[in-house]
Structure 1
Amino acid sequence: MMFILFSLFFLFFFIYYFKSGKLNKVPVKNICNVCLKPSKNKCTNCNQIYYCSKKCQKKDWKEHRKVCGTVGTELIIPTSSSSSEMREFISDLISDDVVENFNVPDFEQEYAIKYPHEKMHIQFLNSAQSSIEYLQLIGRFIDHDPDEPDPKYIMNRWNEFSEVLINFLTTPRKIGDIFTGKMKSQYLGGKDVAAQSFSSMSKLSLTYDQGKVHIAVGFVDLDLLLQAEITQNMNFIEQPNKFIGYEGSVYAVAKTNVIKEMMVKKVPIRSIIEVWFSSVWTMETLKYFEKAVKSVLQFGDAPNDGPPNPTKKELHPKVRSLISHWNKSIRSPKSHQEAHKLWTKTFISEDNVFFIVANLVEPRDRVQVARHILTGEFPLMDDQPPKNLIASITMFNCNNGILPHSSNEFMLQMMPMDTILSKNQRKEISFLNAIYNFLENAIIKVCNWLSPLEGQAGKIEIYLHFQPVTNDNSALLVSIRQLDPWIMSWSNICDYFYVHDFHKMLRACSGNDTIHIMTSIDWFKEVFGAHIMEYDGRVRHGMLIDAQKKISMAEKVVDPSGYFQYTNVISHPYNIGDISAMMMVKENWQNYFFKDQDLNIGDFSFIPYAHTHKTHTLLNICYTYNKKD
């Protein structure tokens, strides 16, 4: 993991010296440049100077760096070096006047005090902390441009490296130009191979008029209901709202149906939260899960090759197969230790989720969040005897090649921080407890909607179906239109369609006054100028400063008691600078997305900055199509 970071750092470092004219050729010697012993190892940056050991290379670096040759990719650092050795190595290479103290808290040591016997987790945190410290050095060189485009950067930035993209980037263009040749990822492709355990982004707070229909396409889970309210206006209908979900993921439909049934039965809220979010369950939760599974298996059969009845409890054969498999797996669950191992396997070296930990103010919160990230437990199970714990059935006992939590997803990413943090005080309640309290209150609300007290009418009915919503599925589009939906939520499905095809599909299933709500994650991959490195190097530091100011302003509204730091945010410089960049091109993409469409735009805005977001590029979009005579 560290070699990638070293490569990035030295790439920018040597670009600086190259542009400054400080790189010159030096004579080649076949002996160590320090101790004069015979040597076969060269500095791989200039490929000219020999060193017999890492010690000699470190000793000579302050002088050699002034004349080191062409840009390279790495220094002579043994792959067996520990993180502490690497830290010492880099500290020796860089003079004190170049590097600031980035004030990254020592969360590795804090965790080690609480969990001293977890050597592997401590080592992982050590590497993560080192990565955060050195990754920020890129900010020192953000105003310097490489002479040649880096294919890896282009791939990360645009999510492709095609001939069409290269033509777009190499022809005259200006900030805000749209890359109309963007390749779209396949919608529904392999969704159950890497199934989502829960939503990956925060949703809008919606208000439903009583008696209306909400269609949720690509719902993943029931997070849309956590902040929702049901109101009675002048034209309300005295019947429950209907929340009808369509998903192309067998796993999402199966799991969410079981969770909904647990809500209907009003099982203890902690058990609902464990099944929804946690890698580890208590034995009590397993019992409630078993009852809910058996209840769901009593649902009727949905068609195998056609649209389901939207307002009936039906299971597609593939969904029934998975739930039946869970029912059998209850007899032999995996251990909680195995759950930890399987969870940890999903981490990748480039993962930046530990920025969340580094930006938390309280050591208490840093330890708890690190524990959650490393184990997937929520709530943390420190208060439970090991014999009372098992691995999540839904995460680790699936059939047909389904692999939940296989793409570095974390429940923190879906939490509405502006709601949670503004209602809690950092000194009085821990960060994870604030999240738990939010979930507890929100789930109680939904449980009461589904199963009201005696004498009260239910406020909502929920029907969840496995069915892809596409232009090819005309029968389903007609079925949805006949329901005259008041609201249709589309998650980020707009990212998988070309604009014309997406609007065609939405018009085909719209009712008389349907409000369409969606969030685009990948919009910035279609706009030149949505990334800070696409601006002149002379203005980039100004853009970083401007973005930091915008983040600082969010603290008073989002996080008044200061769970996180906002003035010196610890993150990749791109994550900060892109906030300014995207503000400059948002309207260009909006005009592109709505071009030639007869509609009313209700909202087109960024989701407020939060440290827990996976990306800070989220755009909320809300509109209705005008009626045609």
Structure 2
Amino acid sequence: MNICNVCQKSSTLKCSRCHQTFYCSKDCQKKDWKSHKKSCGKNEVAMSNFPSSSSSGPSLQSLSEMLTDMMFSMDKNNPLVNWNVPDIGKEYATKYPNEDYQIKFLNSAKSSLKSLQLVERFLDKEIDDVPDPNHLMKRWSELSDDLIDFLSSPRKFGDIFIGKTKNPYVVDKGLGALSFSNMPKQSLILDQGKTHVAVGFVDLDLLLRARIVRNQNSVEQPNKFIGYEGSVYAVAKTNVIKEMMIKKAPIRSIIEVWFSTVWTIETLNHFEDAVKIVLKYDNAPSDKPPNPTKKELHPKVRSLISHWSKSVKNLKSRKNAHKLWMKTFNSEDGMISVIANLIKPRDRVQVARHILTGEFPLMDDHQEKNLIASITMFSCNDGISPHSTSEFMFQMIPMDVILPKHKREETPFLNAIYNFLDDSITKICTLLSPPVESSESIEIYLHYQMVTKDNSELLSSIRKLDPWTMSWSNICDYFYAQDFHRMLRECSGNETVHVMTSMNWITEVFGAHIMEYESQYRREIFDNAQKTISMTGSFMDPSGYFRYEKVITHPYNIGDIGATLMVKDSWKNYFFKDQDLNVGGVSFIPYAQTHKTHTLLNIYYTFNKDIHVYTELLAN
């Protein structure tokens, strides 16, 4: 989440000089200037001494000049392959003719997508210019002297930027608030009766695909899912959703509270009932770890849920929900390409509607008087700001599971997603409140607690649970490898298998970006990546919901898929260097049009050398 460097409130405004530090107002920027000007000016000086190189991307000036040249000269001799960007604004207007602002936004997005195609020309050009600081910041997620030294020194593809700055994964004292997970999770098999500990769980998306199985390791008792989160919001909201599941609220109402900006009045009633139940939980200690297998609420979590309980008397409208949702859009919203890459106009209109309103499912068939703005998304206290930056539920949806099960002609894309959620949430509801004859059940305990290498009391508490499996979201991205492994050892049971996903590994390895290669090699890397996408797309999406040839996206998104294939093993060797453990796997998540990041790495391993990490840990 982007937060003000002074007061920690959410913000979309940056320092106009360095484009790195966020402020919520001019007053906060003035208060911080005495301190900030040192680092702000430092970056400018550092960049002025940086040698010319084609490896880090073009400067803004060279980009502008090259785009102008391309527009006037290159079309005749070497025309661009036509992406055939659909007229998404015109299509949307056929169903929503009175939404002038949204139509204008989509028309502008179409123009941006068409212009974006010109970037592909850089694949064939040598850029002899000073690299653009904005590009370096986006590529490496920092602009430091250590990075400049690394890029200025002799290096080869696969070299690791060991001076990478590692920020704490919770820097805002629990104010950070993802409305839902922003990446697809691995599909786990959970042995019956065992304990799974989920660190940084965000929501219950890991359980959407998980399966409980009986084998020689099984125990005749309920499975336990114990979650620890540094976000007050995530713990509060997910506990309410869990109680809605236990009480078997309508699946649609559970989906609305989990994902939608707009609720029906029926959903509000079920939400109120669940809130009353959660507020009866015992009090968790505020200064030490909670009891892991007890329903407890940290005071900060209780405060937020109590606020929601009172908010039902001051409801916001559907129109307000749409306005608040749209406030967070920015010029780099990659979700627009999801619309353009869908094959059927029907799907493009529905997905555009979801992206522009945040409704899921779409509420067009309901009367306005029966609809309200989501309380959890738009009525928080204590500075908590969910959806403070662009986020979309598509990013967490496992397309490799959904798309093969449906026929495009019969099932609209949004319906296919809804069907998956309906089936998966129904399964979780059954596990939480199983029929008498069932041997499968699960207990869920969710706690507001930050798992860090310095929290030895908590790490010891987790170790005593003897967890069979532990999931870490992408928390490995926020630790130096040695520190991360040391922390995991401290909380591991005798046979614990650890599962995680890295989103940011590419910011640690040279050669993970296509523009870091010489121009004569880039086209081959790009073409090979496009072939890979075409092959995996036809397998993952046999009904052809999306296009997989001439994909409409930033060309770097395609090229980097090819580049990362060549350096993945170098990063893997660095991540596991000097660790005495059994590596189960480090593999790419299949490409999907809806992912926020197309170079996600799934990782799992154990510190028990006597265990061979079984591949069946991941469900098919």
Higher relative contact order (CA 8 A, sep 6+): 2
Identify the residue that residue 104 of structure 1 maps to in structure 2: 85
Q: Which residue, out of 596, 600, 607, partners 1:618?
A: 600
**1:136 lines up with 2:117 in the alignment:** yes
Counterpart of 2:94, as a letter, is: I
Q: Which residue, out of 568, 579, 592, partners 2:561?
A: 579
Q: Retained in 1: the 8 A contact 2:494–2:608?
A: no
Structure 1 unaligned residues grouped into runs of 5+: 1-69, 76-86
Which residues of 2 match residues 310-321 of structure 1 at below 5 A?
310-321=292-303
Distance 2:76 2:416 in 1: 40
Q: Which residue, out of 133, 141, 146, partners 1:159?
A: 141
Distance 1:497 1:211 in 2: 31
In 2 relative to 1, CA 340–94 (structure 1 residues): closer, same or farther, beyond 3 Å?
farther
Identify the residue that residue 585 of structure 2 maps to in structure 1: 603
| 1:93 Cα deviation after fit | 8.8
Identify the residue that residue 198 of structure 2 maps to in structure 1: 216
Q: Which residue, out of 489, 499, 519, partners 2:501?
A: 519
**1:291 lines up with 2:279 in the alignment:** no
Distance 2:81 2:455 in 1: 57
Instruction: Show structure 1 runs of 4+ deviating over 3 A.
Output: 70-75, 90-100, 191-194, 454-458
Q: What secondary structure, in the 3-state scheme, does the structure 1 residue paired with 2:495 have?
A: coil
Between structure 1 and structure 2, the one with the greater Rg is 1
Q: Which residue, out of 227, 239, 247, partners 1:265?
A: 247
Q: What secondary structure, in the 3-state scheme, does the structure 1 residue paired with 2:592 have?
A: coil
Identify the residue that residue 556 of structure 1 maps to in structure 2: 538
**1:545 lines up with 2:527 in the alignment:** yes
Identify the residue that residue 95 of structure 2 maps to in structure 1: 114
Q: Retained in 2: the 8 A contact 1:247–1:465?
A: yes
Q: What secondary structure, in the 3-state scheme, does the structure 2 residue paired with 1:549 have?
A: helix
**1:247 lines up with 2:229 in the alignment:** yes
Q: Which residue, out of 158, 179, 198, partners 2:180?
A: 198
State the percentage of identical aligned residues.
Answer: 65
Distance 1:479 1:166 in 2: 42
Counterpart of 2:192, as a letter, is: Q
| 1:185 Cα deviation after fit | 2.0
Distance 2:73 2:328 in 1: 33
**1:127 lines up with 2:108 in the alignment:** yes
Identify the residue that residue 454 of structure 2 maps to in structure 1: 472
Q: Which residue, out of 529, 546, 565, partners 2:547?
A: 565
Q: Which residue, out of 151, 154, 162, partners 1:169?
A: 151
Deviations for 1:81-126, whole angstroms, at most 9, x for unmatched residues? xxxxxx9xx9789855544422111111100111000000001111
Q: Retained in 2: the 8 A contact 1:601–1:624?
A: yes
Deviations for 1:350-394, whole angstroms, at most 9, x for unmatched residues? 222111111100100000001000000000001111111000000
Deviations for 1:392-423, whole angstroms, at most 9, x for unmatched residues? 00000000111101121100000000000011
Counterpart of 1:129, as a letter, is: K
Identify the residue that residue 38 of structure 1 maps to in structure 2: none
Q: Which residue, out of 131, 139, 148, partners 1:149?
A: 131
In 2 relative to 1, CA 192–376 (structure 1 residues): closer, same or farther, beyond 3 Å?
farther
| 1:626 Cα deviation after fit | 2.7
Deviations for 1:121-154, whole angstroms, at most 9, x for unmatched residues? 0011111111111011110232223222111111
**1:510 lines up with 2:506 in the alignment:** no
**TM-score normalised per structure 1:** 0.85
Q: What secondary structure, in the 3-state scheme, does the structure 2 residue paired with 1:539 have?
A: helix
Counterpart of 1:588, as a letter, is: S
Worse overlay, 549-558 or 451-460: 451-460
| 1:627 Cα deviation after fit | 5.2
Distance 2:475 2:276 in 1: 32
Identify the residue that residue 433 of structure 1 maps to in structure 2: 415
Worse overlay, 313-322 or 447-456: 447-456
Counterpart of 1:155, as a letter, is: M
Distance 1:279 1:94 in 2: 45
Q: What secondary structure, in the 3-state scheme, does the structure 2 residue paired with 1:568 have?
A: coil
| 1:236 Cα deviation after fit | 1.3
Distance 2:350 2:485 in 1: 44
In 2 relative to 1, CA 99–546 (structure 1 residues): closer, same or farther, beyond 3 Å?
closer
Distance 1:282 1:417 in 2: 27
Distance 1:457 1:398 in 2: 39
Distance 2:585 2:599 in 1: 16
Q: Retained in 2: the 8 A contact 1:451–1:458?
A: no
Q: Which residue, out of 573, 576, 579, partners 1:594?
A: 576
Distance 2:90 2:394 in 1: 23
**1:337 lines up with 2:351 in the alignment:** no
**1:403 lines up with 2:385 in the alignment:** yes
**1:488 lines up with 2:470 in the alignment:** yes
Distance 2:122 2:184 in 1: 33
Q: Retained in 2: the 8 A contact 1:215–1:244?
A: yes
Which residues of 2 match residues 327-366 of structure 1 at below 5 A?
327-366=309-348
Distance 2:584 2:173 in 1: 31
Deviations for 1:578-617, whole angstroms, at most 9, x for unmatched residues? 0010000000000000000001011110000000000111
Distance 2:62 2:581 in 1: 53
In 2 relative to 1, CA 222–472 (structure 1 residues): closer, same or farther, beyond 3 Å?
same
Worse overlay, 171-180 or 233-242: 233-242
| 1:184 Cα deviation after fit | 1.0
Q: Which residue, out of 372, 382, 387, partners 2:369?
A: 387
Counterpart of 1:433, as a letter, is: N
In 2 relative to 1, CA 490–454 (structure 1 residues): closer, same or farther, beyond 3 Å?
same
Q: Retained in 1: the 8 A contact 2:83–2:551?
A: no
Q: Retained in 2: the 8 A contact 1:532–1:574?
A: yes
- Root-mean-square deviation (Å): 1.9
Counterpart of 1:119, as a letter, is: D
Distance 2:225 2:122 in 1: 51
Distance 2:489 2:63 in 1: 51
**1:238 lines up with 2:217 in the alignment:** no
Identify the residue that residue 82 of structure 1 maps to in structure 2: none
Distance 2:206 2:399 in 1: 15
**TM-score normalised per structure 2:** 0.86
Structure 2 unaligned residues grouped into runs of 5+: 1-59, 611-620
| 1:187 Cα deviation after fit | 1.9
Distance 1:156 1:531 in 2: 11
Distance 2:76 2:272 in 1: 60
